Amino acid sequence: MPILESDKISDKISDKIINIRTVGLPLKPINEFIALQGNLKIMDSARLNKLISNILQNGFISPIFIWQNQIVDGHQRIKALQVLLNTGYHLYHNGIDVNDMVPYIVIDAIDRTEAAKFILTYNSQYGQMVGLDEFLSDFKLDWADIDKQLILPIEYNSKFGKSNNSLKANWVMPPFSILDTRQIYWQERRREWYSILGDTSFSREHVLGDDLLGTINSGVSLFDPVLAEIIFRWFTPHKNSKILNLFAGGVEPNIVAAYNGHHITGIELRMEQIEHTCRIADRLKINHKLNIICDDVLNLNLHAPNNEFDLIVSSPPFYSLEQYSTNPDDFSNKNEVEFDLLMEKVILSSASKLKDNRFAVFVVSEVRRADGSFIGFVPKVIKWFLAAGFVYYNEIVLINSIGTLPFRINRAWSNRKIGRMHQNVLVFFKGFVKNIEKEFDTTRINGLLHQKVMVFFKGNIQNIKNEFKQDIDIA
C-alpha cells in the first residue's frame, strides 16, 4: 500500500465520503471480484495517488467491467478504493452508505481470450503496461489477434498487399511525426522487405561503438527499408522519380528505390559495398535502375548534373561513431572540425543538383564528444541546409528497437546520459512552399505528435556523476 503524503486525505475531507456517481447499475462488494488481468500492468505510488486524488475530487464515476465475475477493466480503480477504505472512507450511493460495494457492468465475451482482448483495448490511463509478451502467452494470443485493438490498425497481405487502412494504403504508414519501428505493422512490413532483399549487412559488421547504432540490428547499422519506402512514397513527386543518394553505402535505400520504380544515383567511397548492392540488384533484375558511383562524395559535381533530381536522401556518417573504412577520405575518419566543414560543403553542393520545388531528407542522430556532451549534429544539419537555400519543412522522430539499452543504461545514467533510442528524419524543401500541393499530388504535411524536451548542463561535465548520485536501480 502506498504512503499517502502525510495522510493528507484524512486532513482534507473530514467526513470521508466517496460518492458513487453512476445510475442504474448493480453493486457488488469489492472482495467478490476476481482479478483477470494478472501482471499486465503495474501501478506505482505516483500513479496510484493520482488516481486516488481523482476519485476524491470527482467521486467514483467509472464502473468495474467484468466477465464471469472476473475483472476485465477496473483493477487499478479497485486498488485505489481499497487504499481509501482502509483509511476510513465510506462509499455512498444515492445518499446511502453501501460499505465497499461498487457498480459493475458484465461484458458479453465469448471466452476468456476475447475478454483478454478487451483488456488490451480499454486499459486504464493510470496503469503502465508490463509483461505484455507473457500476457499474450498466458491467454493464447498473438500480435495478429490484438493489432486491430492497438494503435494504427493494419492488415497485411504477402508482399505488400493493400492495407485496409486508407492512410497506410496510400502512404505506407500514416504521415505523422512519429514513426515507431517497434510496432507490429512496421515489423511485418520490414520482414517482407528482407525476404526480398536478403542479407544486406555485408562489410558493416563489428564496426559500431557502444552507442545508439550499436543497439540496432544486432550490432550492424542498417537503413531501415520501411523508412526508405516511406521517404520515397512521401517525398517524391511521381513513381519514376530521380533520386540522389549521398553516402550511398547502405543497400536498403538503393534497392528499395529501384524496386519501386525510381532511378537512383548514389556516391559511395567503398567499392566492396557497391558490389554487394549490385549483386542484390542483379538478382532482382533492377540493376538498370541503379547508378552507384565509387568516389568521394566531395566530387559530386563530376557525377551529378545540376537541376536533375527529384529527391536527395542520405544517412550520412555520424562523425566517428561508426567507422566504415580506413580510407583517410572517409568522413568517419575526420575530426569534428574537419567533418563539419566537409559536410557543409556536401550539402551546399547537393543543393544545385536538386530541381526546384523538391525535397531533401537526411536521417541523423545526436553524437557525444569524448567528454559526454552532444556535438549538436541535428541543429548543425538544419543550419547547413538553411544556408544552402532550403526551407526546414518537417521533422520526424524514428523510434528504434530498444536493443541492449536496458543492460547498458545503468552505466550511462551514472553520468545522467539518457538512453537514446530514436533518430531524427529531417526534411527540407527547395523552392516555394506554396507549390508543394501542385507538384506533389494529395500531399499532406506530417501531423505533429511529439514535442521536444531539451536538456542542457551548466558546469564541468566530469562532475555529473559526483553531483547526481546513483540512487535508483534502472532495469
The pLDDT of residue 329 is: 80
**pLDDT of 316 over the 60 cut:** yes
The pLDDT of residue 236 is: 94
Q: Quote the CA–CA distance of 71 and 124 in Å, as a whole number.
A: 12
The pLDDT of residue 165 is: 55
**pLDDT of 294 over the 80 cut:** yes
The pLDDT of residue 220 is: 40
Span of 136-150, 151-165, 195-209, 328-342 with lowest mean pLDDT: 151-165
**pLDDT of 288 over the 80 cut:** yes
The pLDDT of residue 170 is: 72
**pLDDT of 162 over the 50 cut:** no
Cell of 391: 526551407
304 vs 155: which has the higher pLDDT? 304
The pLDDT of residue 197 is: 87
**pLDDT of 341 over the 90 cut:** yes
At residue 143 the predicted structure's pLDDT band, cuts being 50, 70 and 90, is very low
Per the prediction, the chain carries an average pLDDT of 77
Q: Quote the CA–CA distance of 25 and 21 in Å, as a whole number.
A: 10
At residue 16 the predicted structure's pLDDT band, cuts being 50, 70 and 90, is confident
Q: What is the fold of 166-467?
A: Rossmann fold (3.40.50)
Span of 28-32, 41-45, 85-89 with lowest mean pLDDT: 41-45
**pLDDT of 136 over the 60 cut:** no
**pLDDT of 346 over the 50 cut:** yes
Per-domain residue ranges of the chain: 5-145, 166-467
In tens, the pLDDT along 351-382 reads 999 999 999 999 998 888 888 888 999 999 99
Question: Hey, which of 70-79, 196-205, 229-238 has the most confident mean pLDDT?
Answer: 229-238
Percent of the chain clearing pLDDT 90 (strictly above): 35
**pLDDT of 55 over the 80 cut:** yes
Fill in the amino acid letter for 320.
Answer: S
At residue 41 the predicted structure's pLDDT band, cuts being 50, 70 and 90, is low
At residue 198 the predicted structure's pLDDT band, cuts being 50, 70 and 90, is confident
Query: How large is the average pLDDT for residues 128-135?
Result: 47
Query: How large is the average pLDDT for residues 54-63?
Result: 86
Query: How large is the average pLDDT for residues 151-156?
Result: 38
> How far is the CA of 418 from the CAs of 128, 215, 405, 414, in angstroms?
20, 14, 10, 10
271 vs 216: which has the higher pLDDT? 271
Query: How large is the average pLDDT for residues 313-318?
Result: 91
